[in-house]
Amino acid sequence: MLLAAAVLSAAAPMPAAPARQRVAAADIVAAARARVDAQLGADAAGAGISVIGTPEDILVAPGKLALKAHALSGRWPRARAGVPVDVSVDGRVVRSATVWFALSVHRQELAYAQDAAVGTASEQLKLTPQDEDVAAASGQLVLDAKELQGLRLRHPAQAGAPVLRTDFEAVPAVDRKQRVVVLAAYGVIRLQTHGVAARQGGTGEVIPVLVDGAETPVSARVTDKGVVEVVQ
C-alpha cells in the first residue's frame, strides 16, 4: 500500500511555473522618448531625435506592469542622452534598461560677428543672432548680451562661433602690466605715486607692484580699480 502511494506521488505532475510576460523594447523606447519630449518642452516639435541605442525585449514575472523613465540631469539639451527606464511589476522595480538618443535642437542664439582678440571687453564685441544647434554646444550659451556686462574675453573668439559663458572672465580691478596709482602711508605721512602691476588682482588681493623709479617690486593691496596701497 505504501509502495503504491509512493509510485502515485512520484507520477504526479509538478505544478507549472507561472508564465512570464514580455516587455517589448518598443514600449521601453516609447517611455524614454516621452521623457525626452517632456524635458524639451516647446523645442520638442522641431527637434531632431533619433534612437541610437535600443534595449532588447525583457521577460518579467506576471503582474501589473509599469514603465517609468527617469528625469535627465546635467546640461540640457545635449547631443547624446541616455534615459534610464525602470520596469516594475506590482509596484516593485524588477529590471532597468537605458535608451540612448541623439538630439539636435536649433534656435536663434548669439554668435560672434567678427574675430576678437583675448582681453576684448564685452561692450566692444559685435554679436549677431544666428541658427545654432544648442544640443551640440560645448558649454552654456549666452542668451542676452546684458549677461556680459563687466566681462572680457578670456581667449580669442572666432567669427561665427556661438557665444559661451565660459568665453568670458571678470575684468580685474588691476590687470597685469597696468599702470596703477600707488598709495603709501608712513605714520601720519601719506604719499601717492605710480607704478606698474606685475600681475592682475582683485580688490583686497596683495600683488607685486614696481613703483616708478624703483628696482624691485613692493607688495601692495588692491583697494580699488587701478589703485593699490603698499603693505607695510
A 10 A CB-CB count for 122 gives 21
Nearest to 184 by CA among 226, 218, 208, 213: 218
The tens digit of pLDDT for each residue in 19-30 reads: 899 999 999 999
d(CA 86, CA 78): 22
The pLDDT of residue 19 is 83
Among residues 99, 40, 112, 110, the alpha carbon closest in space to that of 68 is found at 99
> How many Cβ atoms sit within 10 Å of the Cβ of residue 20?
11
Residues 6 or more apart whose CB falls under 8 angstroms from that of 212 comprise 193, 194, 195
Q: What is the mean pLDDT of each run of 10 residues along the chain (232 residues)?
A: 44 64 96 97 95 93 96 94 97 96 96 96 96 93 93 96 95 93 92 95 95 95 95 88
Q: Tell me the pairing of strands 179-186 and 227-230.
A: parallel
The 65-69 sheet, strands edge to edge: 48-53, 92-104, 80-89, 65-69
* DSSP class per residue in 71-134: PP-SSSS-SEEEEEEEEEETTEEEEEEEEEEEEE-EEEEEEESS-B-TT-BGGG--EEEEEEEG
Give domain limits for the chain.
20-104, 106-170, 179-230
Q: Tell the CATH topology of 179-230.
A: SH3 type barrels. (2.30.30)
Residue 86 in grid coordinates: 525602470
Q: What is the pLDDT of residues 90-128, one digit of tens each?
A: 999 999 999 999 999 999 999 999 999 999 999 999 999
Does 106-170 carry CATH code 3.90.1210.10?
yes
**d(C-alpha 172, C-alpha 199), whole Å:** 10
